[in-house]
Amino acid sequence: MKNFWKLAKHIFWIALLTLFTQVGGLIYLVFIPLFRLITKRLEIHRGRRWLKLGSFFCFYLIISLSIIPPLAKSLSGRVPLPFSSKHVKPLHWGYFLLNRNYVKPQLKEIVLKTADKLGKAHPGSYVSYLDACFPFKNGYPLLPHISHNDGRKIDLAYFYKQKKSGKELNGKTPAPIGYGSTLEVRKGEVNRPKYCIENGHWNYNFTAKLFPKFPWRNYEFDVKRSRTMVSLFASNPGVGKVFLEPHVKARLGLQGKKLRSAGCHAVRHDDHIHVQL
């Protein structure tokens, strides 16, 4: 019985790590026998749980930073977005650490160049990315984004500012990881969120329910910088589509064939934009 629970625990961790990081389950499979061998040799019996946790984290980090990037480039032609460059950063470190930051080199170049242009237009500002794609295999989805499965898609956070002072913020959104920072629909605007929710598309509002806005974060939508970001991406010839909700599009005062609504089957796009090649 003890062995059964031990096996169940391992399967649980492998499944969870595979779901959230794609490669974490495999790294765990290599790590467990290695850890057993080392602790047996060194006759370590006390504090094994914390030692295991700490050393797995280090092992995962080393593999993720040293082996996964060249392997992803040669096997699937995808490259990671930077952890910290002057004009591009993940909104939350998790997007980088969980290997959810892989894209085709063409998309990486578009993101970096667009962010540089934005940084020139609004000095001190940088683009914050959310989920992009995993390192390997076309068709392998990065849940809950079914379409993020080919290295050609990325989500980016809108810009916000302090409500009281009007201070421009970077890398900060009303909800903790970007998703869920929904923009309320005003009177007279097309209310796609209401339509999708009332028509039973539970997945549409999923991220907003999972990550509600922090009430103490008194932020407001920064129209000026968000407009610059969206129009810069839309005007890039390499970009195929930019998804955003109709009321955000109207608020930004932008038009264009590339600016589209993702529809009710996708997660809502009034807390981020989705850019794809």
Contact positions vs Zn ion (CB under 5 A): 145, 155, 274
Taking CB atoms, the residue at the shortest distance from Zn ion is 274
Sign of the C-alpha dihedral computed for residues 265, 108, 101 and 69 taken in this order:
positive
Instruction: Quote the least distance from Cβ 262 to Zn ion, whole Å.
Output: 8
Instruction: Quote the least distance from Cβ 203 to Zn ion, whole Å.
Output: 13
- The phi, psi pair for 127, rounded to 5°, reads -85, 135
Instruction: Quote the least distance from Cβ 267 to Zn ion, whole Å.
Output: 8
Distance CA 176, CA 237 (A): 32
Distance CA 74, CA 90 (A): 24
Instruction: Quote the least distance from Cβ 269 to Zn ion, whole Å.
Output: 8
Residue whose tokens read 């998703």? 179
Distance CA 168, CA 180 (A): 20
Q: For the beta carbon of residue 167, count every other beta carbon within 10 angstroms.
A: 9
Closer residue to Zn ion, CB minimum distance, 155 or 270 = 155
Closer residue to Zn ion, CB minimum distance, 27 or 262 = 262
Q: Give me the amino acid identity at 113.
A: K
The H helix count followed by the E strand count for the chain is 10, 10
Closer residue to Zn ion, CB minimum distance, 155 or 222 = 155
Closer residue to Zn ion, CB minimum distance, 27 or 252 = 252
CA distances from 174 to 159, 163, 222 (A): 10, 11, 12
Closer residue to Zn ion, CB minimum distance, 145 or 249 = 145
Instruction: Quote the least distance from Cβ 128 to Zn ion, whole Å.
Output: 14
